[in-house]
Amino acid sequence: MVMMGAKDEQDSSTKIGLEIHCQLTSLQSKLFCSCLCNYRDKEPNKNICPICCGLPGTLPLLNKAALELASMVSLALGCRIPQNIMFYRKNYFYPDLPKNFQLTQYNTYGITSIGVNGRLNYGKKSSRIRRIQLEEDPGRLVYESNGINIGSSYTLIDYNRAGISLVEIVTEPDFSDPKDVRIFLNKFTSIIEHLGVCNTKLEGSVRCDANVSIQGGKRVEIKNVGSFKDVEKALNYEIARQKTMSMHDIKIQAETRHWDDTRKVTKQARTKEEEQDYRYFPEPDIPTILLGREHESSVNVKMPELPDERKDRFIINYGLSEHISQVLIDNKELADFFELTVKIYSSPKEIANWIVTELLRFTDDDSLIEAKMDSSVSSQTFLFAGLKIGAKHIAELAKLVDSNTINRNAAKMILTQISKTGEMPSQVLARTNVLKTDDKNIISEAVESVFRTEQFALRDAKNNPNVANFLLGKVMKLTKGRADPKITLHLIKTRLDGLS
């Protein structure tokens, strides 16, 4: 049994490496044929052709656009692009491979993959990128149990995905803490979203396998992980499992294990293949591709603004704090929403505060990052799905607060309402009584009412300087947030001074 009590602190003896698979979903066609890249929502085995299936006599034709997008990913992750690239056959026999081999890239006989020797900074740490390879995705296996192949009497195969363009990012084993892995994956996702190469909300568009070993032992691969949060959970479990086995002198096998999301454990799938088992050899139907020195320069010109650059711009141009800027750029959709709102009403600090501090409260805690890999999330999911709020709503709300038409408490009440109805804030104002009042007579009446009901607090006023703020809260509640806070606090303090 694996003891999962207090979390053990990860140390340098734990080594974790990642293999991230990212589909290039912005393409129109597959990697080596003209079948559609968008295979989702199609009938099984309808998005295939003789080339996808590897029928005799067919020849693959490389998608030039895929090569360009893969090059963009390589540059964004700090990799070097070689002048020549090659494709190799990776031979293994598995039902989801119609050809019985996968067209991929391989660096043993020279650097010929689309990217090598990169590095990605995340927080105050960084991880080396060993290589990035452009390859074709296999088909999909659909188990009767709708999950891991446990107790299934049969397995269905859908080849619609076979041949989809995919980049695999292989890191060095530079991680020792699963929490760092999750932070790294979130940073990577933000980058590919800003590049525009992948819609991370599509089912299966980003997948991550993790390799973990302890104390220089055998490497165990974890597959079938559905979200970044589960990658962290799976790694924590696997590290604890291996440490428990090591404590009891049980030999750790080199194997592939699947993450069982229901039981929150890893389960043995198969013994892990060695590299020589795949019998790599150059693809004879695709000659060496000469990219030349100009290729990297031409791709650089087309590179969009990346998250770190956008963060610096938010700090310099909008005057936002580093923390607020980081929260915004961590999710491209959120950053885009912010900039669209600022175009409507130019008050960036106020708008950023409303989005980060208030609007995000309406989303699930992990919705910004779990939607990246969650297979249940549909392609139509929007960041604020279920909320009837757009940029124009936040812009008008910020303007009403800036102009002192309403105070912040009243604005929060309006935000809650418009998130359900989709009304503009001004419409809510027109039919409700939430306008801020600075009428001292009205506020004085509310203060006197609170003083009559809060006698215990008044007796404590001499010894407790926080009583004034407590009474302010009571007045704001009584006036439903309409009272001007500055005037109210002044009247309360004046009234308290008169009591002493």
What are phi and psi for residue 61, nearest 5 degrees?
-125, 115
pLDDT digits (tens, 9 = 90+) for 386-434: 778 899 999 999 999 998 888 888 888 889 889 888 999 988 887 776 6
Rounded to whole angstroms, the Cα distance separating 25 from 39 reads 10
Task: Note whether 119 and 57 are within 8 A (CB).
Answer: no
pLDDT of residue 102: 96
Rounded to whole angstroms, the Cα distance separating 55 from 40 reads 23
Please say whether the dihedral angle defined by the alpha carbons of residues 434, 438, 439 and 445, taken in this order, is positive or negative.
positive
pTM to 2 decimal places:
0.83
Task: Note whether 139 and 162 are within 8 A (CB).
Answer: yes
Structure tokens at 122: 């995340």
Structure tokens at 186: 């979130």
pLDDT digits (tens, 9 = 90+) for 285-306: 999 999 998 999 999 999 999 9
pLDDT of residue 332: 94
| DSSP secondary structure letters along 185-220 | HHHHHHHHHHHTS--TTSTTSEEEEEEEEETT---E
- Per-residue confidence at 145, pLDDT binned at 50, 70, 90? low
Closest residue by Cα to residue 189 from 332, 53, 295: 332
pLDDT of residue 493: 85
Structure tokens at 392: 């124009």
**Burial status of residue 32 (CB atoms within 10 A of its CB: 0-12, 13-18, 19 or more):** buried
**Burial status of residue 282 (CB atoms within 10 A of its CB: 0-12, 13-18, 19 or more):** middle
Closest residue by Cα to residue 231 from 206, 214, 251, 253: 206
147 Cβ contact list (under 8 Å, min separation 6): 261, 262
pLDDT digits (tens, 9 = 90+) for 208-258: 999 999 988 899 999 978 788 899 999 999 999 999 999 999 999 999 999
The pLDDT of 47-73, averaged and rounded, is 96
